[in-house]
Amino acid sequence: RLGAAAPVCPRIRLLAQPPLPQSAAGGALPAPERHFTFLLPAGRRECFYQGAPGGGSMEAEYQVIGGAGLDIDFSLESPSGVLLINEYRKSDGVHTIEPTEAGDYKLCFDNSFSTISEKLVFFELIFDSPQEDEDGDNWAEVVEPEEMLDMKIEDIKVGDRWGALRSAVQSLLLVGL
C-alpha cells in the first residue's frame, strides 16, 4: 500500500513507579532513569510521551532486541513540536538532549515499513537536572583510584548484559518460543 499512513497507537504516557518526586515549585520531576520494553507490531508506529524539566539533560537510548532485521525508524520531538532526531532503519541509538525544554517529549518507534515482522524494542531515558550536575563535578576528588577501577569493571559487566540479552531473545525467537 504505497502512500498509506501507518496506523498510530493512542497517546501512551510513561508512568512513574513509585510516584514522581516534586520540584521546589510543586511540579513533578522525572525519575532519573526510566526503561521500557515493548512489542512493536508489523506495520505499526508507537509513540510515548515523557515529561522533562527545563534546563537539564535527557539521554534517550533504544535497541531492537528481537525480530527480523532488528531495525526500526525512530524520532524524538521536543515539547514545542521541533523534530530533534529522525532516524531510519536503525537497530539502536543513543541521543542526548541538552539543555532540555520543560514539557512532554514525544518518542516514536516506527515499524510501518515491515509487513510481516514484529520487533521487540527496549528503550531507556536518563535525566540529569542542573543541580545534580553541579554536585557531581567533583566526584573524582572523592573517589579513590581502586574504586574508580571497580566502577569501570562493573560498567563492562553491565554493558555485556546487552549482548547476552540480545542473544537470548534471538535464540528464543528462532526456536519459536
* Helical ranges in the chain per DSSP H: 130-136, 139-142, 145-175
> Which of 11-20, 30-39, 40-49, 150-159 holds the top average pLDDT?
40-49
Domain range annotation of the chain: 12-137, 139-177
**Cα–Cα distance, 127 to 132 (Å, whole number):** 10
Specify the 3-state DSSP secondary structure of 34.
strand
The answer to whether residue 148 scores a pLDDT higher than 60 is: no
Confidence at residue 174, expressed as pLDDT on a 0 to 100 scale: 62
pLDDT in tens, 86-131: 999 999 999 999 999 999 999 999 999 999 999 999 999 999 876 5
12-137 topology per CATH: Jelly Rolls (2.60.120)
Query: What's the pTM?
Result: 0.61
